[in-house]
Chain A
Amino acid sequence: ETGVTQTPRHLVMGMTNKKSLKCEQHLGHNAMYWYKQSAKKPLELMFVYNFKEQTENNSVPSRFSPECPNSSHLFLHLHTLQPEDSALYLCASSLSVTGGGAETQYFGPGTRLLVL
């Protein structure tokens, strides 16, 4: 595998379910990001991790719980979601968060989530 991979690609869950999204990067990067992409809205940055440490939580509801066990893996644990949480969830990585702001972020293909 190369680049940034995400599993599953599609997920349907009820509001009482618990599920997890997985992201893995094979680029040797140290920073990882979760974004939410909803129709007709800009990409929303949710969480940022740098060297496994969370550096940003963009006022995300607690029903979304991120986990970064190492620099290559990032999870998003989901529980008691709402229908408005249905969206495409994108993972990205970059060399570092503190690289000056000009670094390229590399994106995975996303997980399409539908909450019923």
Chain B
Amino acid sequence: AQSVTQLGSHVSVSEGALVLLRCNYSSSVPPYLFWYVQYPNQGLQLLLKYTSAATLVKGINGFEAEFKKSETSFHLTKPSAHMSDAAEYFCAVSDRRTGFQKLVFGTGTRLLVSP
């Protein structure tokens, strides 16, 4: 079964600093990969997804992620953090072999941004 690991349940950065949220997947075949964000009292919103086109994927709000097959990783980055980026971020995978839409989520990383 596919799985995804997010290292660090909490990440703290200062405003203007680089944001790096880590995600590693476990699968013999590279899956589809997603990053979702959840703001307080809201549902999840798609930031970006990798579907085997370009390995560097750009998303909303200045976020991007790079798919690295050799490292089985799909880390999320943003060059300069903003206070409004404070939220919980979820990495998810979907098995491309089955053809079915079924997401498996990581445990999430809460991003804290200080002034």
Residues of A within 8 A of B (CB): 4, 6, 31, 40-43, 45, 48, 55-56, 90, 92, 94, 96-110
Q: Is the interface of B mostly helix, strand, loop or mixed?
A: loop
Which of B62-70, B74-82, B96-104 lines the interface with chain A? Answer: B96-104
User: A94 vs B108: C-alpha distance in the bound complex, in angstroms?
Assistant: 22
Number of residue pairs spanning A and B whose beta carbons lie under 8 angstroms apart: 70
14 new A-B pairs (CB below 8 Å) besides A45-B102, A97-B100? A4-B43, A6-B43, A31-B101, A40-B9, A43-B90, A56-B102, A97-B101, A100-B101, A101-B101, A101-B102, A102-B49, A102-B51, A107-B43, A110-B42
Could you list some 23 contacts between A and B, CB below 8 A? A4-B43, A42-B105, A42-B106, A48-B102, A90-B44, A92-B43, A96-B101, A97-B101, A97-B102, A98-B101, A100-B101, A101-B32, A101-B94, A102-B32, A102-B96, A103-B101, A104-B34, A104-B49, A105-B101, A106-B46, A109-B41, A109-B43, A110-B42
> In the assembled complex, which residues on chain B have CB atoms less than 8 Å from the CB atom of A48?
102
Residues of B within 8 A of A (CB): 9, 31-32, 34, 36, 41-46, 49, 51, 90, 94-96, 98-108
Q: In angstroms, how far is the closest chain A Cβ from the Cβ of B95?
A: 6
Question: Are B49's CB and A101's CB within 8 A?
Answer: no
**In the complex, which residue of chain A has the Cβ closest to the Cβ of B96?**
A101
User: A99 vs B101: C-alpha distance in the bound complex, in angstroms?
Assistant: 7
Q: In angstroms, how far is the closest chain A Cβ from the Cβ of B103?
A: 6
> In the assembled complex, which residues on chain B have CB atoms less than 8 Å from the CB atom of A90?
43-44
Question: Are B107's CB and A104's CB within 8 A?
Answer: no
> In the assembled complex, which residues on chain B have CB atoms less than 8 Å from the CB atom of A110?
42-43
> In the assembled complex, which residues on chain A have CB atoms less than 8 Å from the CB atom of B42?
109-110
User: A114 vs B60: C-alpha distance in the bound complex, in angstroms?
Assistant: 33
Q: Pick the most buried of A48, A94, A98, A107: most chain B CB atoms within 10 A of its CB.
A: A107
Take A107-B44, A107-B45 as given contacts and tell me if A101 and B107 are in contact as well, using a CB distance cutoff of 8 Å.
Answer: no
User: A48 vs B45: C-alpha distance in the bound complex, in angstroms?
Assistant: 19
**In the complex, which residue of chain A has the Cβ closest to the Cβ of B99?**
A100
User: A107 vs B41: C-alpha distance in the bound complex, in angstroms?
Assistant: 12
Question: Are B96's CB and A100's CB within 8 A?
Answer: yes
